[in-house]
Amino acid sequence: MDWGRAKTVLILSFLLLNVLLGFQLWNDYKETGPATAFDGLTEETRAVMQEKKIRMDTNAKIPKGTPSLQTTVSFNQTLNSAERVPLVPPVESKAVLLSRNNFEEKFKDRIDQAEDYELDPITSSGKVFILHQMYGGYPLFEMTLKLYYENQQINAFQQSYAQTPSGAEEKEQPVLPAYTVLGILVKNHLQNGAVIQDVRLGYHGQSYNSQVQVFAPYWRVAIEGDKIFYVHAINGAVEDPSQEEKQIWE
């Protein structure tokens, strides 16, 4: 037997196998996203994702853990500017938004409670930067600070703000895992080819003609194409942007 030739054949076969495996891994990555991002998904959910060609954006992450949050939180809304408020003089660069310290230094004396807001890259655009008021480390999705950017300057803002919670505090309950929420959406709501851009836990509420605003914990799931789903983090009710709210968690 020609051992030299046999050795060469084995090496070439091994290299070819590695290439095929690498191609398969890359194909799977393109189909669904990073493998580690889906470690918590059920096999059934993964199968549906593959069938519907739903995938995760490469920059997106699925939060882990199930923190306990209040079932509802009531706030007194004290600011709700319907019109833009000019910034005079304007802020010369949007780079201040990249640093928390720079942001507070530029805006804390010019916009009330500016230090309570945090930038939301998902809903922001090139002309309007959107920040959410934070409560207990989580965003209040309806309480926003909008910064308007034009001619290389931030020249105006629009603001809504809710003050300290009013009334007795509600009991806390652990929220549904993000993986469970994604399973609900994948099976029942997401269309073929959907790309999941962001999954974030926060507080969401309806707008009423009332000074008191009531929020509940929700998972916000952003889909490529500016589509947002809100899923109640306790009972799994889905607010579909194209349908009426449905209760599908059992």
Q: What is the pLDDT of residue 93?
A: 85
Residue 35 pLDDT > 50, yes or no? no
Angle (CA) 157 83 75, round 5°: 80
CA dist 174 and 178 (Å) reads: 12
Q: Which domains does the chain have, with CATH numbers?
A: 37-71+170-248 (2.40.128.690), 76-165 (3.30.310.160)
Is a pLDDT exceeding 80 seen at residue 246?
A: no
Question: Could you give the CA distance from residue 158 to residue 164 in angstroms, rounded to a whole number?
Answer: 20
3-state helix, strand, coil in the chain (%, to 5): 30, 35, 35
pLDDT per position as a tens digit, 127-175:
999 999 999 999 999 999 999 999 999 999 999 998 877 666 678 999 9
Q: What's the pLDDT tens digit per position in 96-116?
A: 888 889 999 899 899 999 999
Separation CA 88–CA 63 (nearest Å) = 40
DSSP 114: G
Instruction: Look at residue 26 and tell me whether its pLDDT is greater than 50.
Output: no
